[in-house]
Amino acid sequence: MRFYVVTIFPGLFPGPLAEGVTGKALAAGKAEIVPVNLRDFAEDRHQTTDDTPYGGGPGMVMKPEPLFRAVEWVRETEGSRVPVILLTPKGEPLRQERVREIASGEAWILVSGRYRGVDERFREALVDIELSIGDFVLSGGEIPALALMDAAIRLVPGVLGNEDSADADSFANGLLGAPDYTKPPEYRGMKVPDVLLSGDHAKIAAWRRDRALEITRRRRPDLLEK
């Protein structure tokens, strides 16, 4: 799985993904992150990537020409129609189902905007999927791109060991996860539920399912409807 990340801040990548399980996957070549410096695709002496918005208003807009040229360069390099994902608060809320689809793909182009966002003509002509990682505004799409790649890379076969298998994730079964405990069995008067110490695996599975249903109903009833 290869991610091309179109950004004016290529130095932010791989950033935190160089650590832990994602770092191992990158080092082993199971996943690859290729930062694409948008400035390299600018056409003027000052390598300009933004300009003032038509119609006025605060902030700048990312110019279409460098964005088109960057995506076209990736597609020529790959020799295929690599899909383009734009990270934007206006996008479809990212869910685990979509992460699984991305993890099963060969190559993706992630576009991380800055300023007010990208020229609408780039979005219309070249963007396949617009994704949001939550209802908040950041200073750019780079951190959402890192979050998306982290979620996808850990699903690549062989990246997670058996100890932290993706099958056990919150959302693997569409529910929030049950609470977890480790040793000691009693700490400052707080006890681990007896059932978890019982060794009865069927009973433990039933208890975990009940707790998962309970927390999901309390905190995220919308997940139960899906």
Instruction: Return the residue of 137, 157, 183, 190 that touches ligand 9WO, per CB under 6 A.
Output: 137
Nearest residue to ligand 9WO on Cβ basis: 59
CA atoms in the 13 A half-sphere facing the CB of 67: 25
127 SS3 class: coil
Q: Which is nearer to ligand 9WO, 14 or 113 (CB)?
A: 113
Residue 141 sits in the site that holds ligand 9WO (CB under 6 A): yes
Residues in the interface with ligand 9WO (CB under 6 A) total: 16
CA atoms in the 13 A half-sphere facing the CB of 204: 12
Q: Any idea what DSSP says for residue 50?
A: E
Q: Which is nearer to ligand 9WO, 133 or 159 (CB)?
A: 133
Instruction: Return the residue of 37, 71, 144, 175 that touches ligand 9WO, per CB under 6 A.
Output: 144
How would you label 65-84 residue by residue, b for 16+ Cβ within 10 Å and e otherwise? bbbbebbeebbeeeeeebeb
Q: Identify residues 77-136 at the interface with ligand 9WO (CB under 6 A).
A: 87-89, 113, 116-117, 132-134
Q: Which is nearer to ligand 9WO, 15 or 89 (CB)?
A: 89
Give Cα separations from 18 to 12, 13, 61, 101 (angstroms): 11, 9, 31, 23
Tokens of 109: 């182009």
Q: Which is nearer to ligand 9WO, 109 or 175 (CB)?
A: 109
**Dihedral pair phi/psi, residue 221, rounded to 5°:** -60, -25
Q: How far is the CB of 52 from ligand 9WO (least distance, A)?
A: 12
Residue 58 sits in the site that holds ligand 9WO (CB under 6 A): yes
Q: Identify residues 186-205 at the interface with ligand 9WO (CB under 6 A).
A: none
Residue 10 sits in the site that holds ligand 9WO (CB under 6 A): no
Residue 138 sits in the site that holds ligand 9WO (CB under 6 A): yes
Cis upstream peptide for 184 (omega within 30°): yes
- List the beta strands (DSSP E) in the chain: 2-7, 32-37, 50-51, 61-62, 84-93, 107-112, 129-132, 186-187, 190-191
Q: Which is nearer to ligand 9WO, 68 or 207 (CB)?
A: 68
Q: How far is the CB of 141 from ligand 9WO (least distance, A)?
A: 4
Give Cα separations from 50 to 32, 63, 87, 112, 199 (angstroms): 28, 5, 17, 13, 62
- Which residues contact ligand 9WO (rule: CB under 6 A)? 58-59, 87-89, 113, 116-117, 132-134, 137-138, 140-141, 144
